[in-house]
A and B are shown apart, each in its own frame.
Chain A
Amino acid sequence: MSIQTQALENRTPGTLATRERASVRRVYTPRADVYETPEEIVVVAELPGISEESLDITLEQRELTIRGTRSTAALEGYRLIYSEYGEGNYERRFVLADSIDRAGIAASLKNGVLQLRLPKVKEALARKIPVKAE
């Protein structure tokens, strides 16, 4: 019993488990900043190694999905000797509120960073109501 327990505890995710998973194409959640301005919602996601062609953004119903496929990493003639990040695909989903103007969604990619601008529908924009003094 004690031996078994120890064997299990030794399987720390950092060593065995993650490497096992890395052998199949692993999917990573890209880091993102999300902020809202009075006019729009902006998603800034880090997708290092992704080019426009390998990036796929889909909007299905209310779900916005970002998918990035990273080209196979094995460098010809080289051997990986030390690794801090795994190379795999990226995926992240966001559920949009009804107040987003779907037709106006714009995406741009620069230096491995995706910027998604999700404009709010005009009616949802907060309007300032002037108060008249009498």
Chain B
Amino acid sequence: MFARPFFSSASPYTLQSPFGSLQQLRQDFDCLLEGVWQTAEDYPTVNLWNNSEGALAVVELPGYAPGDIEVSVVQNVLTLRGERQAPAFREGEVYYRRERWQGKFTRSLALPFEVEGAKVEARFKNGVLSIALPCVEAQRPQKIAIHTN
């Protein structure tokens, strides 16, 4: 019906800009809401590092004491459990913001290799838990020698 687009008189730049600014708005909004939509499934947040010997899971657990956290490994699955009780409300207290997570969590992560359970080491510092997860010997990368005749 329309031989030309409705905005035909506009330059390509102005044609794109409504979407561009909308996109920008969406990104800004995502930044603004960063973490707000976080669900129980992805708490606590984990970063995973690896090298030829295994992996290192680094977990953000601010406000937990080492005793509040339980780490277990079965074959290739790492499970984290923890509990932190919200401080009890006292008479005359008014909350303006409650952004911190309270209560229980359980999280399992499947690793791409089997973990040498006996050699797992966990360290906790400044609210960050680091768990060294060595790979079982049989699944480590093998160096193959190249022979020449």
> Contact flags (1/0) for A29-61 with B, using CB distance below 8 Å?
101111111100000101111110000000000
Assess whether A112 is in contact with B126, with CB atoms less than 8 Å apart: yes
Main secondary structure of the interface of B (DSSP, over half): mixed
- 15 new A-B contacts, CB < 8 A, other than A9-B23, A49-B126, are A1-B15, A31-B99, A35-B93, A35-B94, A35-B96, A44-B63, A48-B126, A78-B51, A78-B56, A80-B48, A81-B50, A111-B61, A111-B64, A111-B124, A112-B61
Q: Which residues of B, 102-149, contact A by the 8 Å Cβ criterion?
A: 124, 126-128
Query: Closest A-chain residue to B26, C-beta based?
Result: A13
Is B45 an interface position by the 8 A CB rule?
Answer: yes
Assess whether B97 is in contact with A77, with CB atoms less than 8 Å apart: no
A84 and B26 alpha carbons, distance in the complex (Å): 20
Chain B interface size, under 10 / 10 to 19 / 20 to 34 / 35 or more:
35 or more
Assess whether A49 is in contact with B128, with CB atoms less than 8 Å apart: yes
A80 and B93 alpha carbons, distance in the complex (Å): 43
Residues of B close to A84: CB separation below 8 A:
42, 45-47
> Contact flags (1/0) for B13-55 with A, using CB distance below 8 Å?
0011001100100110011001100000010011111110001
A13 CB contact (under 8 Å) in B30, B45, B99, B100: B30
| Interface residues of B, Cβ cutoff 8 Å to A | 5, 15-16, 19-20, 23, 26-27, 30-31, 34-35, 42, 45-51, 55-56, 60-65, 90, 92-101, 124, 126-128
Assess whether B35 is in contact with A31, with CB atoms less than 8 Å apart: yes
A46 and B45 alpha carbons, distance in the complex (Å): 13
Residues of B close to A78: CB separation below 8 A:
49-51, 56
Assess whether B100 is in contact with A50, with CB atoms less than 8 Å apart: no
Assess whether A8 is in contact with B35, with CB atoms less than 8 Å apart: no
Assess whether B46 is in contact with A112, with CB atoms less than 8 Å apart: no
Assess whether A49 is in contact with B127, with CB atoms less than 8 Å apart: yes
Query: Closest A-chain residue to B48, C-beta based?
Result: A82
Is A131 an interface position by the 8 A CB rule?
Answer: no
Chain A proximity of B34: nearest CB distance (Å): 7
Chain A proximity of B21: nearest CB distance (Å): 11
B23 CB contact (under 8 Å) in A11, A14, A51: A11
